[in-house]
Amino acid sequence: MSIDKTMNQLLDIFDFFNQKNDSEEIEVNKKFIYNNKSNTLKVIIPPRGEGHLFVTDYLIKRLNKNKYSCLSYYFDGELLKESTEKTLENFRKIIITTFKRIFLV
């Protein structure tokens, strides 16, 4: 079974047990783990826009153990909406917020 199918199944279970947040605000957060033996930075973005997940923490720990620094973004709020216009607007908000944080605009 591929990692994508496994992740989707885990996230479907997660969705079943957790109510979705219908707020219009999308909070962009990050977690940075530095490894002084690393020359490589791995950037992790959640597959469906969920908030911080246990799977992400596990992935960060494994990458850090294998001598990588990690920058993980996670979003508080639901990215995917019924309307494509609302979904695109959510992605625009994330892109603008992330760009401003990276370049300190």
> Which residue has tokens 């490589």?
40
42 HSE (CA, 13 A, CB side): 17
Contacts of 73 (CB under 8 A, 6+ apart): 28, 29, 30, 43, 44, 45, 46, 98
* Residue 66 belongs to a domain: yes
For 69-96, the pLDDT digits (tens) are 998 887 766 777 778 888 888 888 888 8
* Residue 86 belongs to a domain: yes
* Residue 56 belongs to a domain: yes
For 12-58, the pLDDT digits (tens) are 665 555 555 555 567 777 888 899 998 998 888 776 666 667 788 88
| The two three-digit tokens of residue 103, written as one number | 């370049």
* Residue 1 belongs to a domain: no
User: How many distinct structural domains can be found in the chain?
Assistant: 1
pTM of the model: 0.58
Range of the domain at 28: 24-103
What's the average model confidence in pLDDT over 1-13?
67
Contacts of 64 (CB under 8 A, 6+ apart): 33, 35, 70
